[in-house]
Amino acid sequence: MTDFVLIVFTLVYIGMVLGGLPFLQLDRGGVALLGAIALIGAEAVSVEEAARAIDLPTILLLFAFMVISAQMRLGGFYDAVARQLAALRMGPAALLGALIAVSAALSAVFSNDVVCLAMAPVLVEACRRRGLDALPYLLALACSANIGSAATLIGNPQNMLIGARLNLPFGGYVLQVLPPVLLSLAATWVLIALLLRKRLHQEPVEVATATVAAPAPDEDLPFSRWQAAKGLTVSLGVLLCFLFAPWPREVVALAGAGLLLLSRRLHSRDMLGLVDWQLLVLFMGLFVVNHALQATGLPEALVRHLAAAGWRLDHPASLFGATFVLSNLVSNVPAVMLLLPLSGPDAGPLLALVSTLAGNLFIVGSIANIIVVDAAARHGVTIDWRTHARIGVPVTMASLAISAGWLALRA
């Protein structure tokens, strides 16, 4: 049975690398689900064991914040923020800095993927109306959303998992990582302003109307002060409870999501329709697959072998390198799931920072990057891998160097 588990695990993580399996219409979520089904069907994992393997607090926390973010999106909050930013009377470099600050702050609370999904299309059109090339601002949105999401334990899925598994204090984590996050955001602004200075000050390239797809209906949502205020109030209450109350975070977040579902105007069908069920399935499938591998004892044997060769995952430098490499091979969520059981109890901030910041390296390193690139393409702005890497590589290297220095100082 160990051989079967290893084969399933290998195929699942090949799917994580490729984004699916060749000749099959499966994405990462489908691959993870199919792997879990295969293990349960072959009785390598019992149904009860699979249920226990799923970290329910992480799933509930992730679901709750998807509902909260849906409230903000349906209330037109993100669209309004993007329009207000583009309307600011300031030069291109200052506008770039304002965008980086705002997108990072929103991503720290409402998740980087949601912020990019809502703001990218509005940002393209707003830049076009103002006569600005949207490319530098789109790259800034993706990079800063990823970096900003590292600032809290709710900014992205892998941070939620790390916080729940290691029971990290919410405020204590923020204080630990805020300096490198802020310095990384400043470095991002400097690098984009320098490397794309010509494009910041030139007119946008005209695109034939026929090549630009019409925006989806949900890309231009009317702003509702009441819905936005309700969402912000609940979000603030949830954050205050995280900081000062002893209650479980997933329970607090679920209560906040429940309050927002009690609405006379926003239908629960619409709000739940914006929940990323694929991501939740991906998490649950990977929990089962990783548990099956852990039960074979192979990971512990590998750790002992690596330690004998001088590569100890409980050592910060080794864990830093392993997290960076795996995050770019299989993406950050699967990488964190693999490394969490093998790393030490104090590895939370390092895992969260490195796995998140590594996502800026290439387009496929982060869902937020893919969302921005796809939204740009629908609106006639092409961001290929070379264009992204011109910014993504230096931003990633700078932010990781800053984080490594900060973690070394605190060691």
In tens, the pLDDT along 55-104 reads: 999 999 999 999 999 999 899 998 889 888 888 888 899 999 999 999 99
**How many CB atoms are located within 10 Å of the residue 22 CB?**
8
Q: Any idea what the Cα angle at residue 322 is, between residues 316 and 323, rounded to 5°?
A: 85
The closest alpha carbon to 315, from 283, 285, 350, belongs to: 350
Alpha carbon distance 111, 107 (integer Å): 5
pLDDT of residue 208: 40
The whole-angstrom distance between residue 247's C-alpha and the CA centroid of its chain comes to 25
Categorize the per-residue pLDDT at 204 as very low, low, confident or very high, splitting at 50, 70 and 90: low
User: Do 299 and 287 touch, CB atoms closer than 8 A?
Assistant: no
Cβ neighbours of residue 72 closer than 8 Å, sequence gap 6 or more: 78, 110, 114, 118, 228, 231, 232, 235
Categorize the per-residue pLDDT at 18 as very low, low, confident or very high, splitting at 50, 70 and 90: confident
**How many CB atoms are located within 10 Å of the residue 99 CB?**
25
CA torsion sign for 342, 63, 74, 215 is positive
User: What is the rounded average pLDDT for all residues in the chain?
Assistant: 89
User: Do 107 and 367 touch, CB atoms closer than 8 A?
Assistant: no
pLDDT of residue 94: 93
266-281 mean pLDDT = 91
pLDDT of residue 207: 45
Alpha carbon distance 121, 119 (integer Å): 6
Q: Render 373-411 in DSSP notation, one character per residue.
A: HHHHHHTT----HHHHHHHHHHHHHHHHHHHHHHHHHH-
Query: Is residue 213 pLDDT above 90, yes or no?
Result: no
Categorize the per-residue pLDDT at 162 as very low, low, confident or very high, splitting at 50, 70 and 90: very high
pLDDT of residue 214: 38
Query: Is residue 382 pLDDT above 80, yes or no?
Result: yes
User: Do 100 and 108 touch, CB atoms closer than 8 A?
Assistant: no
pLDDT of residue 205: 55
For the record, the structure tokens of 247 come out as: 């209650």
340 versus 105: the higher-pLDDT residue is 105
Alpha carbon distance 62, 74 (integer Å): 18
